[in-house]
Amino acid sequence: MLPLIIVLCVIGFLLLVFVIMLISFFNGTKKLQLNIGNSKAQLDVQLKRRFDLIPNLVETVKGYTKHESETLKNITGLRSKIAAPGGNTPENQALLSSEIAKFNISVEAYPELKANTNFMSLQGELNNTETKIAHFRQFVNDSVLQYNRRIATFPNLIFAKMFGFKAEEALKTPELERENVKVSF
132 part of a folded domain: yes
Nearest by Cα to 92 from 71, 74, 104, 106: 74
17 part of a folded domain: no
- CA–CA separation, 77 and 143 (whole Å): 33
pLDDT band for position 172 (cuts 50, 70, 90): confident
- pTM of the full structure: 0.65
CATH code of the domain in which 70 resides: 1.20.1440.20
pLDDT of residue 130: 84
Average pLDDT for 130-151:
92
69 part of a folded domain: yes
pLDDT of residue 84: 81
Task: Compute the mean pLDDT over every residue in the chain, rounded to the nearest whole number.
Answer: 81
Weakest mean pLDDT among 23-32, 61-70, 101-110, 132-141 = 61-70
- pLDDT over 70 at 23, yes or no: yes
The winner for highest mean pLDDT among 12-16, 115-119, 169-173 is 12-16
34 part of a folded domain: no
pLDDT of residue 184: 42
117 part of a folded domain: yes
72 or 31, higher pLDDT: 31
107 or 31, higher pLDDT: 31
- CA–CA separation, 148 and 132 (whole Å): 24
183 part of a folded domain: no
Range 79-85, long-range pairs (CB < 8 A, 24+ positions) = 79/51, 79/54, 79/55, 82/51, 83/51
Domain enclosing residue 44, as ranges: 40-178
154 part of a folded domain: yes
- 72-105 pLDDT tens trace: 677 778 778 888 888 888 887 888 887 777 777 6
185 part of a folded domain: no
Nearest by Cα to 171 from 99, 90, 96, 94: 90
135 or 56, higher pLDDT: 135
pLDDT band for position 185 (cuts 50, 70, 90): very low
Q: How many domains does the chain have?
A: 1
